[in-house]
Structure 1
Amino acid sequence: MPQARPLSRSECHALLSSGVAGRLALSAPDGPHIVPLNYSVVDGAVVVRTSPYSVLGTHGRDALVAFETDSFDPDRREGWSVVVRGRAEVVRDRGQLDAIRHHWEPQPWASGARSLVMRIRLDELTGRRLGREPEPGPRVGEDQAARRDDVARSA
């Protein structure tokens, strides 16, 4: 049976930067919630867009949250998981919002207005891999740049 091994911070960052969707866990007055959403990694933070009236927009502001993204191959029994834990903060600064849009603004898959931009800084970043080592691939950031270009072409 394969052993799980911890990932280095740079491995975690590379895998996190290669993803497009994850799950954000937060606590609300009615209990814990796990919110699936898409994201981008910009300037050392996971960036998401949500509705100001969603569970995340209502109860996630300045709250301690956990964000997780992963990839698994059940047939091979291998995969990886990366977790970011930190405080979710609303991005209000016009210059920071412009920088996020310039880099690659998250494009929500669900319908509806998603005008609230939030981020979780990569202060606590951990991960682990189960199974064989990955094949060499793109460098950190190349995957998101390619996705940004794909989104721009399809718009």
Structure 2
Amino acid sequence: MTREPVTYFSRLDADECWALLADAEVGRIAWLGPDGINIVPVNYRTREGVIVFHTAPGTMLATLLDATDVSFQVDEIDKESAIGWTVLARGATAPADAAAKSISWVEGDRTVGIAIEVSVLAGRVVSGTKSEEHRNE
């Protein structure tokens, strides 16, 4: 008898979401700008319920110093097992506290600190199964 693979889609509580955010280094920030929806990967850190990243002056990301509604997503999905997690934060941007630190994989002048003050946080653990087509690739 062949057993069907178990799949699931389970919610994470806020503490689990913050732990996953604290452990990751790259997320995607999304917002509606004058030219449409923008989604940009950033290096970041978390600090006391806030997500912080730095960018260079004059960049598209630097416009987020002005209060802007944003979404921020981090996820990790294992390609082989089709198991992973995703965390989505929503909130508004503001200038980061001068003491707030972040990381950057990009060289250059990253002196503009931006904080996302999180108002909504949701996460899921996901498990799927690969179709036969995906298994053969």
TM-score under structure 2 length normalisation: 0.83
Aligned partners of 1:67 and 1:60: how far apart in 2? 16
- Superposed CA RMSD in Å reads 1.7
Shift of 1:131: 2.7
User: Amino acid of the residue matched to residue 124 of structure 2?
Assistant: R
Shift of 1:32: 0.7
Structure having the larger proportion of residues in strand: 2
User: Which is higher, the Rg of structure 1 or of structure 2?
Assistant: 2
CA offsets per residue over residues 70-124 of structure 1, 9 Å max, x none?
Answer: 1110110110011110001112xxxx322x2xxxx21211122111101112321
Aligned partners of 1:6 and 1:57: how far apart in 2? 33
Aligned partners of 1:27 and 1:60: how far apart in 2? 14
Task: Report the 3-state secondary structure (helix = DSSP H, G, I; strand = E; otherwise coil) of the residue aligned with 1:108.
Answer: coil
Report the count of equivalent residues.
123
Q: Does 1:36 align with 2:36?
A: no
Structure having the larger proportion of residues in helix: 1
Unpaired stretches in structure 2, ≥5 consecutive residues: 1-5, 129-137
CA offsets per residue over residues 29-76 of structure 1, 9 Å max, x none?
Answer: 111111111100012100000123111212562000011111110110
Partner residue of 2:51 out of 31, 34, 46? 46
Unpaired stretches in structure 1, ≥5 consecutive residues: 133-155
Of 108-117 and 33-42, deviating more is 108-117
Percent of pairs with identical residues = 32
What corresponds to 2:104 in structure 1?
108
Partner residue of 1:85 out of 76, 90, 111? 90
Instruction: Point out 4+ residue stretches in structure 1 off by more than 6 angstroms.
Output: none
